[in-house]
Structure 1
Amino acid sequence: MPSSLNAVPAVRRIETDRTDLFACEITGHVSAADLENLYGLLEGAYALHPRIDVLVHFTNYEGVDWSELSDDTKKEGQEHANAHIRKCASIGGPDWVSHFSGFFAPSIDVELKRFEEDEAEQAWAWVGATPKPLDI
């Protein structure tokens, strides 16, 4: 029987030199619990800054369990993203820019851009930030 202690979260926050940038790494398979965690992290960022930029770095991405997330949670996540996100960059993973452009309301001006794994530096430059080194 798998233990929750063995489960590694698929979403990990990346600290940066900008307080109004939410950056994270998404690894492996994303469960509904991981999505709830991601939405909670975003809500914390929205509480600190009315408008933010977002950078998502996909590594070994294996998909998302959207079906396990309630429609109300999805709708709330979309509404909050529309209200708070200015610019969103993705590194690696699926080419979801065209898919997510429909996630934002047509009247909302959100810039979306996808970068290949070998273009990570350009992605960070595009959002105007750098990741902070891990404190180990």
Structure 2
Amino acid sequence: MSYLEAVPAIRRIDTDRGDLFAVDIVGKVNPADAENLFGLLEAAYALHPQIDVLVRLTDFEDTQWAEISPGTFEQGRDAALRHVRRCASVGGPDWSGYLRGELPEATELRHFPADREAEAWEWLGASPRATT
């Protein structure tokens, strides 16, 4: 199956805060998914110069980092450095130790186990909106 045929691994989560960017990452992240994620983040930055981020990892398998364009990755990282205030990751592996070395001290970063997702939403002062 090609990247164009695969179900997207990155899915937006609608929230009750305009300046909170929330996504669910399901399964394996391929380069097309990463490009999509960086594009969605750029749109969020255009609307809100400073944002909070929630990343929920559901049945996370892997990310093909080596296949993502280095330029795309660097642009995404540099933009996050300028725009992200707080970031909560829920479930999956805890990457906070690695990310702390990549983000400025002013960026707050916390990992929550999947069974404590409600605490992540509370920490960010937000809620997911129910889908119909």
Tell me how large the CA RMSD over aligned residues is: 1.3
- The answer to whether residue 8 in structure 2 is matched with residue 42 in structure 1 is no
| Residue number in structure 2 paired with 1:64 | 63
Contact 2:3 2:30 (C-alpha < 8 Å) held by counterparts: no
Runs of 4+ in 1 over 4 A off after TM superposition: 3-6
Identical aligned residues as a percent = 52
- Give the TM-score of the pair, scaled to structure 2: 0.95
Structure 1 residue 52, shift from structure 2 partner? 0.1
- What SS is found at the alignment partner of 2:110? strand
CA distance, structure 2, for counterparts of residue 78 and residue 87 of structure 1: 14
- What SS is found at the alignment partner of 1:36? helix
CA distance, structure 2, for counterparts of residue 17 and residue 54 of structure 1: 13
Structure 1 residue runs of 5 or longer lacking an equivalent are none
CA distance, structure 2, for counterparts of residue 25 and residue 85 of structure 1: 17
The residue type paired with residue 46 of structure 2 is A
Structure 1 residue 122, shift from structure 2 partner? 0.3
| Residue number in structure 1 paired with 2:128 | 131
CA distance, structure 1, for counterparts of residue 101 and residue 76 of structure 2: 13
| Residue number in structure 2 paired with 1:21 | 20
Structure 1 residue 113, shift from structure 2 partner? 0.1
Structure 2 residue runs of 5 or longer lacking an equivalent are none
- Give the TM-score of the pair, scaled to structure 1: 0.93
Structure 1 residue 103, shift from structure 2 partner? 2.1
